[in-house]
């Protein structure tokens, strides 16, 4: 007992002697380490590996959470106010936007790269049908991630009889390069759309809608743009973002869809930012709005961010169903935001909405067929 007391006192003294005088770092560290008791050691040994594992498992979350520190927001868009009411004449609508009205409307081309969104395509084409002169659809038997897929549109062609006379349909053989960045295959397919547009007979000053199948411009917006003169050569469309169905309204931040006054040799079919102008409240972007769970799985594996499937259980149908009904994230990720205020504001699940006002007309007119896209029906049908 006495001996123990003595020796511990001795080592304390040693440390005070050496450490107190601000000696070499090595010795000082040894003193600190010696000062820690067993309990602290155990805690460190448990906490450090857990912390490391935590960061490893949630690497994406950690980096996204810190995003406002390492990335500054893109230049803000110049948002153009958008005016619409059924009973306002086209001439007056154009004037409200600062444009003149034309004697005849421009021709309108709607071009999409099709993956597997059969139902969304139907809602899209029904919404746009009264205003579109030529529909252009390209599908490949390769997903962006290089997986083989059937020509799904081809199989469902009979559902689209109503556009048959106005459809230019193209099929593209995939390149199936292993381990390649998915954005390369995507770019390859987009160039093929450019070629298909020429086949469809697009001419200068025709209106071209560039957007993914699930980015649906409202019909009245397209009508406005085809009838008004002096509209900008390239205009992005601000769409309302929804997830899984029109029950989960996320935000108004969708901007990738765009409308172009076509210029031979200049206009390219892309999905990135091509101008600073954004027309407000111009339609709907419903991501992952599928009828069947199997389609969720397919899309998760096929699209350009399939690296987000960090764990196989992400593809488990029961989990996917639960995530949908909670309005949670399929990849368990944080929102991509550039300020802490927005990031924290958007963390957590998307609240259920009870509004089905201002949705595509075809959807409401066929509500029985599209229950799963409307409020109160998050449970998907069995396969
Ligand atoms: C819209 O115009 C029509 C015909 O001019 C008229 O019958 C109708 O009452 C108007 N609706 C509204 C909401 O003003
Ligand atoms: C993909 O489609 C092209 C063109 O139709 C065809 O030649 C090719 O064999 C298909 N590839 C696969 C793997 O099905
Ligand atoms: C879009 O939403 C943001 C954040 O909720 C809001 O500040 C902004 O005014 C909205 N923009 C338009 C054009 O509705």
Confidence category of residue 226, pLDDT binned at 50, 70, 90: very high
Answer whether residue 182 is part of any domain: yes
Beta-strand ranges (E) seen in the chain are: 78-80, 108-114, 134-140, 167-172, 207-210, 215-217, 234-237, 239-243, 249-254, 258-261, 277-279, 283-287
Answer whether residue 128 is part of any domain: yes
Residue 232: predicted pLDDT: 97
Among all bound ligands, the one having the nearest atom to the CA of 80 is 3
| Ligand 2 atom showing the smallest separation from residue 172 Cα | 4
**Position with higher pLDDT, 303 vs 104:** 104
Confidence category of residue 184, pLDDT binned at 50, 70, 90: very high
Q: What is the pLDDT of residues 267-280, one digit of tens each?
A: 999 999 999 999 99
Residue 382: predicted pLDDT: 74
| Ligand 3 atom showing the smallest separation from residue 280 Cα | 13
Q: What does the pLDDT average to over 153-176?
A: 96
| Ligand 3 atom showing the smallest separation from residue 252 Cα | 1
Residue 343: predicted pLDDT: 66
Rounded to the nearest whole angstrom, what is the distance from the C-alpha of residue 119 to the centroid of ligand 2?
25
β 249-254/215-217 pair status: unpaired
**Position with higher pLDDT, 308 vs 380:** 380
Confidence category of residue 81, pLDDT binned at 50, 70, 90: very high
Q: C-alpha angle 362/368/372, rounded to 5°?
A: 90
Averaged confidence pLDDT in the chain: 87
Whether the per-residue pLDDT at 324 is higher than 50: the answer is yes
Domain extent at residue 180: 78-287
Answer whether residue 44 is part of any domain: no
Burial of 370 (0-12, 13-18, 19+ CB in 10 A): buried
Answer whether residue 357 is part of any domain: no
Number of folded domains in the chain? 1
Whether the per-residue pLDDT at 16 is higher than 70: the answer is no
What is the CATH classification number for the domain harbouring 235?
Answer: 3.90.550
Handedness of CA 93, 96, 101, 107 (dihedral sign): negative
Residue 198: predicted pLDDT: 97
CB-side exposure of 308: number of CA atoms within 13 Å? 19
Confidence category of residue 13, pLDDT binned at 50, 70, 90: very low
Q: What does the pLDDT average to over 306-318?
A: 77
Rounded to the nearest whole angstrom, what is the distance from the C-alpha of residue 78 to the centroid of ligand 3?
12
Answer whether residue 115 is part of any domain: yes
Answer whether residue 236 is part of any domain: yes
Confidence category of residue 350, pLDDT binned at 50, 70, 90: confident
Residue 6: predicted pLDDT: 43
Answer whether residue 295 is part of any domain: no
Answer whether residue 303 is part of any domain: no
Residue 281: predicted pLDDT: 98
**Position with higher pLDDT, 349 vs 364:** 364
Among all bound ligands, the one having the nearest atom to the CA of 88 is 1
Residue 1: predicted pLDDT: 43
């Amino acid at each position: 007992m006495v001996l123990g007391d003595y020796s511990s006192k001795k080592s304390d003294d040693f440390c005070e002697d050496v450490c107190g005088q601000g000696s070499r770092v090595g010795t000082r560290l040894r003193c600190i380490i010696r000062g820690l008791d067993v309990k602290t050691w155990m805690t460190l040994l448990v906490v450090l590996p857990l912390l490391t594992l935590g960061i490893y498992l949630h690497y994406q979350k950690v980096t996204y959470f810190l995003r406002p520190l390492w990335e500054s927001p893109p230049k803000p868009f110049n948002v153009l106010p958008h005016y619409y009411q059924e009973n306002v004449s086209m001439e007056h609508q154009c004037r409200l936007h600062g444009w003149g009205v034309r004697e005849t409307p421009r021709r309108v081309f709607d071009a999409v790269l099709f993956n597997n969104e059969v139902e969304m395509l139907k809602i899209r084409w029904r919404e746009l049908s009264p205003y579109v002169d030529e529909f252009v659809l390209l599908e490949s038997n390769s997903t962006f991630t290089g997986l083989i897929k059937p020509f799904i549109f081809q199989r469902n062609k009979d559902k689209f009889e109503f556009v048959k006379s106005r459809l230019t349909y193209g099929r593209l053989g995939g390149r199936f390069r292993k381990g390649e960045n998915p954005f390369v295959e995507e770019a390859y397919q987009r160039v093929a759309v450019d070629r298909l547009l020429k086949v469809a007979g697009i001419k200068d000053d025709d209106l071209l809608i560039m957007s993914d199948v699930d980015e649906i411009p409202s019909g009245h917006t397209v009508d406005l743009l085809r009838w008004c003169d002096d509209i900008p050569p390239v205009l992005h469309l601000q769409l309302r973002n929804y997830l899984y169905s029109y029950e989960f309204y996320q935000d108004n931040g969708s901007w990738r869809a765009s409308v172009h006054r076509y210029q031979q040799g200049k206009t390219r079919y892309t999905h990135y930012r091509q101008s600073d102008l954004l027309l407000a409240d111009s339609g709907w972007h419903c991501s992952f709005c599928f009828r069947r769970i199997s389609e969720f799985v397919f899309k998760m594996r096929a699209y350009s961010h399939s690296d987000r499937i960090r764990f196989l259980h992400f593809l488990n149908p029961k989990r996917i169903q639960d995530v949908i009904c909670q309005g949670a994230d399929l990849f368990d990720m944080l929102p991509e935001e550039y300020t802490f205020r927005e990031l924290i504001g958007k963390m957590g699940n998307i609240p259920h909405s009870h509004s089905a006002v201002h949705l595509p007309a075809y959807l409401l007119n066929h509500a029985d067929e599209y229950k799963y896209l409307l409020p109160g029906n998050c449970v998907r049908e069995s396969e």
